[in-house]
Chain A
Amino acid sequence: MSVASTTVSARRLSLAERLRGGAGSVWFPYLLVLPLALILWGYVVQPMLATFVESVSEDGTVNYAQFLSSSGVARTSLITSLGISLASVLLCGVVGVAMAFLLKRFSFRGRGLIEAFILVPAALPPLIGAISFQLLYSEIGILPRWLQQVFGAEKPVLAFDDIAGVLVVHTFTMYPFFYLATSAALAGMDPSIEEAAYNLGAGRIRVWRTVLLPMLTPALVSASLLVFMTSLASYTAPLLFGVDQTMTMQIYINRTNGDLPMASTYASVLGLVSILFLLLMRWYEGRRSYMSQSKGISTQRREISNPIGRVLAPIASVLASVVLLAPVATIALVAFSADGSWTTEVIPSKYTVENFETIFSEPKAFEPILNSLKMSLLATAGCVVVGVLIAYAVRRLKFVGRGLLDVAVMIAWALPGTVVAINLISAFSTGTAFSFGQALIGTFWILPLAYFVRFLPLVFRASSASLALVDPSLEEAARNLGASWGRAFVTITVRLMLPGVIVGALLAFVHGVGEFVASVLIYTSSTVPISVAINNRMYSFEIGTAAAYGMLQVVLIFVVMWFSGRLERGGRRAEQWTN
């Protein structure tokens, strides 16, 4: 990926030099930003504006007025959605940051176990993953049914329902945003600052408040944004747990009703709220600087000395691993259970490998998997090149409209996938300058484009949070020693922000492989993604085969995670070696 960005930046650099002044001139930021701004305008902002235009097309701002009346569904939905999103940020933050600290800072028995499974939730395929939650924790779930049997209760015990259910699903699936961001920040953090604080006599709480949390701010801001916006645009969880007064459910219901302007109004308000939250976070983060001059060295892990902690740690690790693995185990259970053998029983009564045989016996069984891999990889490559450059521009360069660039990247993340797909179809159903005069719908390219537009924010935010911790003077030193802008950018800046870039790329790739809501509107027969293949099975209620497909997807994502883990570890080793 840095290979690709070298060529891009080198080309841009020679252009810059031709215009005299090189990378130091006041024009340089604009030269770098212009192509980025064009990409964002053409592929993200301009298509998404269609939603806003539609919302005011028929009767002006009348639809918006509904959000002001106290009795209507509109305001209740907005408040419910906001509440769910804020609670999700809080819960994911607590779980994610605690996990990151525990695993990166302490050494205890069982640590390896949790660390191996900590990212399992990120690998959960969206459609079948939602079903596995139902089968685990809802009123028909294994756990409540089992507790019912144990206690001889009349009704299933501890069944999650309603908003509590939504929050459980959100926390479980989105805490990796916090975990990954915090881990990346911890990896890039200089332990000597913390040690200095302790040596100067600060207590543990004070060190947390005045050193660690401020150092983590960029990571926390980035994760909060992603979690907030994801929860706001989340559709499956409220759907499954029957919370229908949320913004996304109202969008769907209004589209079914045929009231397109109202659906667009909901989507626009959704986008607006997300952007306001983004601006608030930018303001909060911008109040101080978080740079550290030294290179990141991973700290030595501390042994847990407390005897109670020593006993509890392994037990807690096993428990946490069980919780983390439960949804995947449920999918496996379904994949290996005979159809119809699981109705009122706690767990299935008959097992079989038939579901896997069904998949493998189909001649085109692996095509959806290959398609998803290919399209997601392409989109991720694009996200990395554009996302890293935008992160650099927004953090480092001085130019007018930095905030706008930030908003432009995030806007697609703030809208539900269906809306993004519909906007892209409308924008690229005929040839435009941005599609080189070709109609993109009905071709291969619209899918990677949609994944790029939807998941660019992941790479951008992760890179940006990582870059916030890197002092620009390191790059300046390289420039003063005679390196070109391109060389300094690639060998110093990109390398130092690499943990964040890898995290972002991994998230983008995994999301791309699982993407369904947008894909189903734009796929063609030669680009069937794995999620559509799973959905076709679910639609005909072949849950067993769908789960078998889901297992393949989980395994695939694990392989990619392992691969990227090696990539990152290799990178750190090389870094230490060159330093």
Chain B
Amino acid sequence: MKRRLALIALGAMVTAGLAACGGSGDPAPAGSGTQAQKFVIYSARDKKVTDYVVEQFTAKYPEYKGKVEVLNMGAQEVLERTRAEKSNPQGSVWWGGTQQGLTAGANEGLLEAWQPAFAGQMDARYRDAQGRWFGEILLPEVIMYNNKLVPADQAPKDWDDLIDPKWKDKVIIRDVPASGTMRSIYASMIQRFSADGSNPQPGYDWLRKLDANTVEYAANPTDLYVKMARGQGVLSAWNLQDILLQAEGQAKMPFGYVMPASGAPILVDGVAMIKGGNTTGAKLFLEFLFDGTLRASLAKDYFQIPAIPIQQQPEWLSKLNLKPMNVNWDVVGKNETAWINHWNANIKNKG
């Protein structure tokens, strides 16, 4: 008897569930007069940033209230999803992707080319020549250290200090092949010794010494932060924005950074319009993303370095002393896969 009751309860729950999703599946009735169509954003940005920006966007364009949907996921997942949905695109905006990921998407014909108003102000290095993607923020890759366990004056000053034997088993690296950021850092370390990329050997030798000092490769950023904070290692190479967010934000992590004396490789993190999506909404949103006031507040609260310089820089940014490393991204782009595969097969855990 009890079982029968339970089965009936289960059946009722399923029915209720079905009824509920029937309701939520219905498209909202078209409002009279408003022309705004719903659009979906695939974002690899922090949910706090996306929530804040969308709130600002709908405040400026009230007709889009409730019509902007943000789906947060990893950068690689944005590419996978956009690629798989090619025959019937569901997303309109790709918000947050590495130069490599965006270029791959552009070459596969997933992105729409256009010329927004802000493109003219942007350095040509930070955008696609055909207008298929645009850099939004710059990510300098710097030396990160645990400032609870390493006093600031003893932290390494430059990249070459990282391979000093005194740091043996003190370095933690976010595992390289699966991370766009780490791949770029490692490729720039190789290109540093060979301008045209023809002789990667000195770079390999350098990375082998770094591997000897590396105590562990972390599985993902969270894993890296946890291991750094708990002192399994005290040094890493990581992007400045995330270091500042973890140190100054809610997490209060004991992280400090050093701007390397020979310069920091600067990665571009960009945005794009997905081909076949809602282009009207996407264009409006992307133009809004490059609005000066918005970028200033994102720079202040989320430590973003805008790809197009802003008028009033927050204090941390004006004191930054950003020194870009001279990296030839074309050379890197051509060789990255081969270099990283070589590193993974012959250098990792062998130094």
- On A, residues with C-beta under 8 Å from B are 1-4, 73, 131, 134-135, 139-140, 239-240, 242, 244, 249, 252-253, 255-259, 339-340, 342-344, 373-374, 377-378, 381, 418, 421-422, 425-426, 429-430, 439, 441-444, 520-521, 523-526, 532, 536, 538-543, 563, 566-567, 570-571, 573-574
Contact = CB atoms under 8 A, between A and B. Distances in A.
Nearest to A431: B88
A526 B81 CA distance: 17
Contacts of B122: none
Interface string B2-18: 11001100110110011
Give 7 nearest A-B pairs by CB, closest first: A340-B252, A570-B3, A425-B84, A525-B69, A570-B2, A140-B230, A429-B88
Interface of B: 1-3, 6-7, 10-11, 13-14, 17-18, 20-21, 24-25, 40, 46-48, 69-74, 76-77, 80-81, 84-88, 90, 104, 148-149, 175, 177-178, 180, 183, 216-217, 219-223, 225-227, 229-232, 245-246, 250-254, 337, 340-341, 344-345, 348
Contact of B17 (A73, A374, A521): A374
A378 B221 CA distance: 34
A425 B231 CA distance: 42
B223 A244 contact: no
Nearest to A374: B17
A442 B345 contact: no
Given A257-B337, A422-B84, 18 more contacts: A3-B11, A140-B226, A239-B220, A253-B344, A340-B252, A343-B231, A343-B254, A344-B231, A374-B21, A442-B40, A444-B25, A524-B90, A532-B72, A539-B74, A539-B222, A541-B251, A571-B3, A573-B2
Contact of A258 (B48, B87, B337): B337
Contact of B177 (A140, A256, A418, A524): A256
Nearest to A240: B219
Contact of A378 (B6, B14, B223): B14
Contacts of B70: 525
Contact of B80 (A240, A422, A526, A542): A422
A343 B233 CA distance: 12
A520 B226 contact: no
B6 A344 contact: no
A541 B14 CA distance: 35
B279 to A, nearest CB: 17
Nearest to B68: A525
Nearest to B41: A525
A110 B155 CA distance: 54
Contacts of A253: 177-178, 344
A239 B218 CA distance: 8
A441 B69 contact: no
B219 A239 contact: yes
Contacts of B216: 139, 242
B20 A418 contact: no
Given A240-B223, A526-B24, A340 B253 contact: yes
A343 B148 CA distance: 10
Contacts of A249: 178
Contacts of A381: 14
Nearest to A418: B80
Q: Which of A255, A342, A539 has the most chain B CB atoms inside 10 A of its CB?
A: A539
A250 to B, nearest CB: 9
B223 A134 contact: yes
Contacts of A244: 175, 177, 217, 344, 348
A7 to B, nearest CB: 11
B232 to A, nearest CB: 5
Contact of B13 (A377, A525, A543, A574): A377
A257 B341 contact: yes
Contacts of B230: 140, 342-344
Contacts of B48: 540
Given A344-B148, A439-B88, A574-B3, A255 B71 contact: no
B300 to A, nearest CB: 18
B295 to A, nearest CB: 20
B90 A442 contact: yes
Nearest to A252: B178
Contacts of B251: 339-340, 541-543
A444 B178 contact: no
A443 B25 contact: yes
A563 B84 CA distance: 39
